Amino acid sequence: MDSDPSLFGEPASAARAHEDALPEGAPLAARMRPATLDEFVGQSHLVGSGSALRAAIERGAYPSMILWGPPGSGKTTLARLIAAVSGARFVSLSAVSAGVADLRRAIADAKNAKRTSGRTSVLFIDEIHRFNKAQQDAVLPNVERGDVVLIGATTENPSFEVNKALLSRARVFVLNALTAEDVGTIVERALADPRGLAGAMLLDETARAKLIALADGDARSALNALELAAHMVAARSQSRIEPGDIEEAMQQRALRYDRAGDEHYDVISAFIKSMRGSDPDAAVYWLARMLEAGEDPMFVARRLVILASEDVGLADPQALAVAVAAQQAAHAIGMPEALFALTEATVYLALAPKSNSALRAYTAAARAVAETGSLPVPLHLRNAATGLMKQLGYGKGYQYAHDFADARVDQEHLPEALKGRTFYEPGDRGWEGRSKRDKPGG
């Protein structure tokens, strides 16, 4: 975390010195933070040459903002660069540990710096989505008055996690996960730069590819693993980092997946849409992404049951049985063996013909209910449970379907006001299409 309580109450010059100095033995990721916008790797859509944000930063006329992106995409680094390029004070808080008192102290210090030296303060709040409403409200009036320029960083969708009032006073800038090429550039720089490993280590090509792949777009993860691998190699009095060193340092790929965050919703959305689009390969891929990252298998199983009814429906009525069986199997045996049942159901649903006629039928019926209210049940459909009810005409004229050929009877089953209305329109695929063709007059 970047929180530095010693910044509070210091004169601007002392605070500035504190910002720029790195403690002895600082991690490689901290030492390799770019000193200029030209050194910043990735996010060219935001800070590339000629971009609007870059021009605003260089003029010192940038707005308060929320930087939204995955871990290791450069949010903290960009915030520091914005302050450095514009000559502003940089005060950093972590929403995990800071409270309202910390905020007020930081803002009071910022006001004092502006009054005595005219210097603007950038108040950086890491993981701003962890601030509650009261904490976010405490920042709001100071952002409005221009006492500070707020830069919040979050891995969560700010539309859901940041107060609307605060969000309306800040621009949201989206940072993308770094590409493999971006991470490779950062790794090469760390190997050669005097701030980094200064050419003391060689990185085997296979080890380099493995490091980039396992980092999964997270520059901080890549640099941390590179540093640990370098320490292990140096301890053996060697200077070449091999694939095994990277594997040991990284342990396993840190998949970008948060069971309560945006990645959770994005991946489950891709999973559902792949099955709906009849793409078994993509569906199984997204299934593996969820399960390998530790998603609750019962959450996945529930989505399979929903999709079997909503998207496969009557084109293949057996799909619901398959999905429910997979859900029960996953519940009974748990992971890792549950993956077999979940994969089988995923592939089945992806390959099954699709129909949303049940959804369309219910939607049309619900619309009729909303439009017409509680229409009376026709007398011939009411159950004559007592003699009085029979005298009142309950059940009179009702035709018992099994007394007719094919158990089909020509009688009205809707309220009088909805007579003749059609809600269910069968599709043309699978069982539903065959059933429609087999009907008399079909």
Same domain as 205, residue 147: no
Count of C-beta atoms within a 10 Å radius of residue 124: 28
pLDDT in tens, 277-305: 999 999 999 999 888 887 888 889 999 99
Q: Which of helix, strand or coil describes residue 123?
A: strand
- For residue 369, is it within any domain? no
Same domain as 159, residue 15: yes
- For residue 73, is it within any domain? yes
Put residue 238 in one of left, alpha, beta given phi > 0 → left and psi -120 to 50 → alpha. beta
Domain count, the chain: 4
Report the Cα 139 to chain-centroid distance in Å. Answer: 26
**Cα distance between residue 273 and residue 271, in whole Å:** 6
Same domain as 54, residue 167: yes
Tokens of 159: 């539309």
Q: Which domain holds residue 199?
A: 180-250
Same domain as 168, residue 106: yes
Q: Do 390 and 384 meet the contact criterion of CB atoms below 8 Å apart? A: yes
Count of C-beta atoms within a 10 Å radius of residue 286: 22
- For residue 163, is it within any domain? yes
**Cα distance between residue 32 and residue 22, in whole Å:** 11
What phi, psi does 138 have (nearest 5°)? -65, -25
Q: At 91, which CATH number?
A: 3.40.50.300
Same domain as 414, residue 293: no
- For residue 52, is it within any domain? yes
Tokens of 25: 């033995």
Q: At 290, which CATH number?
A: 1.20.272.10
Enumerate residues 6+ apart whose C-beta is below 8 A from 303: 268, 271, 272
442 residues of the chain, pLDDT tens digit each? 333 333 333 333 333 333 455 666 788 988 998 888 989 998 989 988 889 999 999 888 889 999 998 888 899 999 999 999 988 999 999 888 888 888 888 889 989 988 888 888 999 999 888 888 888 888 888 888 888 899 999 988 888 778 888 888 889 999 988 899 999 999 999 999 998 999 999 999 999 998 998 888 888 889 999 999 999 999 999 999 999 899 888 875 545 555 555 567 788 889 999 999 999 999 999 999 888 887 888 889 999 999 999 999 999 999 999 999 999 999 888 888 999 999 999 999 999 999 999 999 999 999 999 988 888 888 888 888 888 888 888 888 888 888 888 888 888 888 988 988 888 888 888 888 777 655 554 4
Same domain as 127, residue 103: yes
Count of C-beta atoms within a 10 Å radius of residue 160: 10
Same domain as 312, residue 287: yes
User: What pLDDT sits at residue 288?
Assistant: 92
What length does the chain have?
442
Q: At 220, which CATH number?
A: 1.10.8.60
Same domain as 193, residue 169: no
For the full predicted model, state whether its pTM sits above 0.75.
Answer: no
User: What pLDDT sits at residue 252?
Assistant: 52
Q: Do 208 and 184 meet the contact criterion of CB atoms below 8 Å apart? A: yes
User: What pLDDT sits at residue 271?
Assistant: 94
**Cα distance between residue 59 and residue 101, in whole Å:** 32
- For residue 363, is it within any domain? no
- For residue 294, is it within any domain? yes
Same domain as 155, residue 21: yes
Same domain as 28, residue 123: yes
Same domain as 192, residue 170: no
**Cα distance between residue 247 and residue 221, in whole Å:** 13
Q: Do 167 and 158 meet the contact criterion of CB atoms below 8 Å apart? A: yes
- For residue 366, is it within any domain? no
Residue after which a domain boundary falls, among 250, 277, 310: 250
Tokens of 406: 């094919």
